[in-house]
Structure formats: structure tokens, C-alpha cells
Amino acid sequence: MLRSMMADPTSSLPVRLARAEHVFPTLTPEQIARIAPHGRVREIRAGEVLVNAGDQVTPFFVVTAGQIEVIRPSGAVETTIVVHHPGQFTGEANMISGRPALFQARVRESGEVIQLDHDQMLALVQTDAELSEILMRAFILRRLELVASDLGDVVLIGSMHSPGTLRIKEFLTRNSHPHTYIDLDRDPDVQTLLDRFHVAVADVPVLICRGSAVLRNPSNQEIASCLGFNAAIDQTHVRDVVIVGAGPSGLAAAVYGASEGLDVLVVEANSPGGQAGSSSRIENYLGFPTGISGQELAGRAYTQAQKFGAQIMIAKGATQLTCDRKPYAIEIDNGPRVQARAVIIASGARYRRLSVENLSRFEGAGVYYGATPVERQLCGGEEVIVVGGGNSAGQAAVFLAQTARRVQIFVRSSNLAESMSRYLIRRIEDSPVIVLRTNAEIVALDGGEHIERVSWRNNTTGKIETEKVSHVFVMTGAVPNTHWLDGCVALDAKGFIKTGPDLSQHELADAHWPLARPPHLLETSLPGVFAVGDVRGGNIKRVASAVGEGSIAVAFVQQVLHE
């Protein structure tokens, strides 16, 4: 890849030449004149610190005279990330998300700037389409460059064979948080580093957060808290709508809700993107003829929702819905409850697991529920098994076949025709690397710290075979995330939420439905509480339908709020 230092010869952020003009654009005098009324013009003096790394509130600066340098402080050493000249502006993705600053911004040469606070910045990108495009693109590309260059405020020390390391890597990646990874298995100097922080090898993975806090095998919640992901979110006031889950349906509801002026809070137990976020390539989503990775789609939707002012709480699960009075209240993991006039349940579904006794021992150590580039890297040139006959299994097999020695697909049925899209079946048939095993079921997993052998039974002959395989991808469907609702809304026999016309008179009477009107489309048996996407009974397990439902629900939320 052709790389070059751009924006300034002293910059340490390597930016691809092709997109440098978009990463560090120079605004025209007309564009600067349109920004000025949103903020205030002020003088800056050489050496003045405008933003400190870790500052929760980061103003936005357009340089009109002088220079601002962006610096990564690391102990006594300083790394210059970039220098902004007249016409250029500061900031990257956290400018939109309201998360703490990753770096310091300091005046290098005295001059003048236009300064906007966070709300003024959001108002600007919501009202000026041309500037919105320039700024949003620059912020997103700058974050991508930081991620690609491992330039951030986090160092992860671990081993790719440890489930904890994989979990944390995935959490940081899915939150697009730039980090440096040190692999214990490869880096001989790492012990010295661990000693410096008084960390025993048994404590890994270790996360060094903002150069100071040393977290030993931290939970996702601890990481989110250390990095201040949720620090800017006010949990005390009553929201127009709280959305539970930031998969495609929840993110769509957030984008439409916030863009229509609603006060929106999204509560996400893990990372934005949901199941779609773990999809290596979504090829059937409208508008992306060459496909898009779930991670990229989720990242764009996440930024889009925040641009319109939606707030998104990360690594915070809803544990209970208090539904006997209004406004409704949602209890959150280790945190205060949030109140809402309307609720959109978008908590999706989770994977079915294999019925193998020692499964949990190997989860993340050979058993995976998503096939992303992280997992693919692990199984390059090796034997892989994919379990399942649906589209997600087919996609995983085709994706992993690009680098694996052989991919075996295990299905309990006698063929794929009823469960998988025709285009995927054709790719599987055409691949010399993929082998389909029908009527096959995994009965045992074996190994030490990692899977080494897999045994399966042919259900037609009863014969059991064992082979050396270290990677098993389980893609066998999902069960709904409704446990936290605790009787508040009517569910179907499989635990999915019933909505709109699917609710019988009998069910509505049981739920004490209080209104003269019947429930709206997507409304549950509780007025003002909606269910969208994979958590809803009768859902179509597709990104597009989840997104569509999220947007439709917002239209009904608007009606309910005026009722």
C-alpha cells in the first residue's frame, strides 16, 4: 500500500495519498465564513494547550491564522500526530460521539481560531449539508487512520489463544477504538514491560488504559468506563424514547428518531452492530453491490445516529423493564435506571450453542460464533468446521475458505436447499476447499487449552468419526434476548415478542391493554413499547428488515408521544 506523510512534513500519521485531501481538507473562505456564526473567534498563543488527552469535552477549532499541533503524550516522549494550518480544523470521531480526547492539541504558532463547543459543532453538521459531508468524512477517515496505525491511548497485551484477549480485541475493534496490540507469544521484550507495571503473566490479557491505569483481564464494562465511553451521557432526565440494543434495528431507530428531533438514548449491552457486526460481508443489503462488512455498516450507522444527537451507552445491558407505571423505567447494569415515555426493544437474539458437555471450555479457544477477519486470521492454512445450514453459516464458510486449508460444513438435514440462499449454495458447490457433510452432528470436542480434535456422528449410519480440527464456527440460529422483560410484554411460544396484529384479543385482555385503539404495527401488549428486528415474533432475519422495522417504529413512537 502506497503510504506517505501528508498534511505536514512533521506529521507522524501516515495517510494514504489518495485520500489525504479528504483526511486533512483545507476549507474555502466561504466555508469558514459559514462556520464563524456558529462559534466565536479567538486568539491563540504559541504553547497554549487547547485540549488535553482525556478531556471529556472537546471543542472544535478551525485555524484561521497560526498553527495547532496534535500530540500524543507518552511519558516523557511526545509524538506529533499532525499539524493543522490555516483553513484546516481539529478533531476526529470523538468530536461526534462526545467521548474523551485521545490526544493533546497545542498551539504551535500564535494566531486565531474559530472555536465551537460540542453542541455548536453538532448543530453545524446537522444544518449545513456541504460542511457536514466534509467534516464527517474527515473525522471518520482520521479515526480509520489512527486505527490502522495503532495510534491510540490503549495498549493490549495478550495471546491470540486466550478467549479474554479475543473478547477485548473484538470489543475495541467493534467500538473503532485505536489500540496497540502486543502479542505475548511473539514479543520477547514484553516481560520487561509487564514487570514495569508489576503484572504477573497469570493476569493477562492486560489493558493499559491511557498510559496509566493497568487493568488485568478487564470486563467490557471496565474498559468502557476507563475509556470514558459513557461519561458524557446524562442518565437522569426522562427521554422521549429509550432503545434497548444497538444492532441494525436499534441503530436505525436511533438514526430516524434523533433526526426527527426525539430525545433518544440507546442502551447496548456490548458493542454497536449486534449480530450484523460480526458478519464478515453482507452482500444483500441494498446499496452495497460489492458487499459491506457488518463492522463497517455498524460503524457508519453508529456515527450517523450520534451526528443527529442520539446518545449511545456502550457495554451497559438493560436488566429489567419497570412497566407498571409511566414513564417506563429501565434498570441498567451497575447503574441508575433511565426513564422513557416510549421504549423500543431491539435486543435481538443470541446464538444457539452446541449440545456438547465441555463447550464453554473451548468458547473463544476454538469455538466461535462469528467469522470476522480476526477469526479468519487465526485459521489461515488450517482445518475448519462450520456448523449450520443457514445463510450465516454459508457466508462464514465462503469467507473462511479464502484462507483455510479445508472448510467442512456440518448440517443435520440432508441438504441445504431449504435453509440457504441459492447464490451461497452455488459458491459452496464451486469451492474446491469446502466440503458439505449432511446428516452430521458434533458429539465431542477434545483438547487442552484449545480444541485439538472434533468427533461427529453420521446420523444415518450412526458411525462416529474423529479428526484433528482446531476451529469450529457455530452458526445454528438464535434465541431471543427477552429474559430481562420479566412478564412485561406478551411473548410467543419460543420467547419472541408478539406485536401489532399478532396479538389476539385474549392476549390483550390478559395484558390489561388499556386503550380503545388496538396496538400499532410493531407495538407490544404494553402501550408505547415497541419491538423491532430479530427479537420480534415472526421477524425476517435480515439486516434490511431490522433497519426497516427500526424506522417504522419511530413513526409510531411519534404518534404515541402525542396521544
Ligand X SMILES: Cc1cc2nc3c(=O)[nH]c(=O)nc-3n(C[C@H](O)[C@H](O)[C@H](O)COP(=O)(O)OP(=O)(O)OC[C@H]3O[C@@H](n4cnc5c(N)ncnc54)[C@H](O)[C@@H]3O)c2cc1C
Residue of the chain from 93, 244, 436, 503 that contacts ligand X (CB under 6 A): 244
* CA of residue 69 relative to chain centroid, distance: 30
Q: Based on CB atoms, which residue is closest to ligand X, 140 or 474?
A: 474
Q: Which of these segments, 59-67, 401-409, 423-431, 536-544, binds ligand X (CB under 6 A)?
A: 536-544
Identify whether the C-beta of residue 58 lies closer than 8 Å to the C-beta of residue 97. no
Residue 488: phi, psi to the nearest 5?
Answer: -75, -35
Q: Which residue has the cell 431449504?
A: 418
Q: Which of these segments, 77-85, 344-352, 380-388, 443-451, binds ligand X (CB under 6 A)?
A: 344-352
Q: Taking each helix axis as running N to C, give the angle between helix 129-148 and helix 118-127, from 0 to 180 degrees, rounded to the nearest 10.
A: 120
Identify whether the C-beta of residue 191 lies closer than 8 Å to the C-beta of residue 183. no
Q: Which of these segments, 24-32, 89-97, 199-207, 278-286, binds ligand X (CB under 6 A)?
A: 278-286
Q: Is 368 exposed, middle or buried (0-12, 13-18, 19+ CB in 10 A)?
A: buried
Torsion region of 334: left, alpha or beta (phi above 0 gives left; psi -120 to 50 gives alpha): left
Q: Which of these segments, 43-51, 273-281, 432-440, 510-518, binds ligand X (CB under 6 A)?
A: 273-281
Residue 189: phi, psi to the nearest 5?
Answer: -85, -5
Beta strand 154-158 with 206-209 is antiparallel
Beta strand 328-332 with 335-345 is antiparallel
The DSSP string of 312-340 is EE-S--EEEEE-SSSSEEEEETTEEEEEE
* CA of residue 404 relative to chain centroid, distance: 26
- N-term to C-term CA, the chain: 57
Q: Based on CB atoms, which residue is closest to ligand X, 124 or 168?
A: 168
Q: How far is the CB of 408 from ligand X (least distance, A)?
A: 18
Q: Based on CB atoms, which residue is closest to ligand X, 26 or 319?
A: 319
Footprint of ligand X on 464-483 (CB under 6 A): 481
Residue of the chain from 63, 136, 276, 526 that contacts ligand X (CB under 6 A): 276
Q: Which of these segments, 248-256, 336-344, 445-453, 504-512, binds ligand X (CB under 6 A)?
A: 248-256
Cα–Cα distance between 543 and 545 in angstroms, integer?
A: 6
> How many residues at the interface with ligand X, by CB under 6 A?
36
Footprint of ligand X on 6-35 (CB under 6 A): none
- Residue 490 as a binder of ligand X (CB under 6 A): the answer is no
Q: Based on CB atoms, which residue is closest to ligand X, 89 or 351?
A: 351
Q: Based on CB atoms, which residue is closest to ligand X, 67 or 279?
A: 279
Choose among 351, 391, 331: nearest CA to 481: 351
Q: How far is the CB of 359 from ligand X (least distance, A)?
A: 18
Q: How far is the CB of 10 from ligand X (least distance, A)?
A: 41
Choose among 487, 519, 477: nearest CA to 502: 519
Grid coordinates representing 125 are: 453538521
Query: What stretch of H or E contains 5?
Result: strand 4-5
Q: Based on CB atoms, which residue is closest to ligand X, 140 or 547?
A: 547
Q: Based on CB atoms, which residue is closest to ligand X, 144 or 478?
A: 478
Cα–Cα distance between 192 and 197 in angstroms, integer?
A: 9
Choose among 242, 251, 244: nearest CA to 272: 251
Per-residue contact flags (x/-) with ligand X for residues 382 to 411, judged by CB under 6 A:
----------x--x----------------
Q: How far is the CB of 390 from ligand X (least distance, A)?
A: 9
Q: How far is the CB of 518 from ligand X (least distance, A)?
A: 24
- Residue 346 as a binder of ligand X (CB under 6 A): the answer is yes
- Residue 94 as a binder of ligand X (CB under 6 A): the answer is no
Per-residue contact flags (x/-) with ligand X for residues 280 to 309, judged by CB under 6 A:
--x-x-------------------------
Grid coordinates representing 324 are: 407498571
Residue of the chain from 25, 247, 299, 394 that contacts ligand X (CB under 6 A): 247
Per-residue contact flags (x/-) with ligand X for residues 355 to 374, judged by CB under 6 A:
---------------x----
Grid coordinates representing 144 are: 480509520
Q: Based on CB atoms, which residue is closest to ligand X, 135 or 282?
A: 282
Residue of the chain from 25, 299, 348, 519 that contacts ligand X (CB under 6 A): 348
- Residue 537 as a binder of ligand X (CB under 6 A): the answer is no
Q: Based on CB atoms, which residue is closest to ligand X, 59 or 370?
A: 370
Grid coordinates representing 420 are: 440457504
Identify whether the C-beta of residue 250 lies closer than 8 Å to the C-beta of residue 346. yes
Q: How far is the CB of 503 from ligand X (least distance, A)?
A: 19
Choose among 253, 319, 363: nearest CA to 481: 319
Residue of the chain from 246, 254, 343, 386 that contacts ligand X (CB under 6 A): 246
* CA of residue 126 relative to chain centroid, distance: 23
Binding site for ligand X (CB under 6 A): 244-250, 267-270, 274-276, 278-279, 282, 284, 317-318, 346-349, 370, 392, 395, 481, 484, 533-534, 541-544, 546
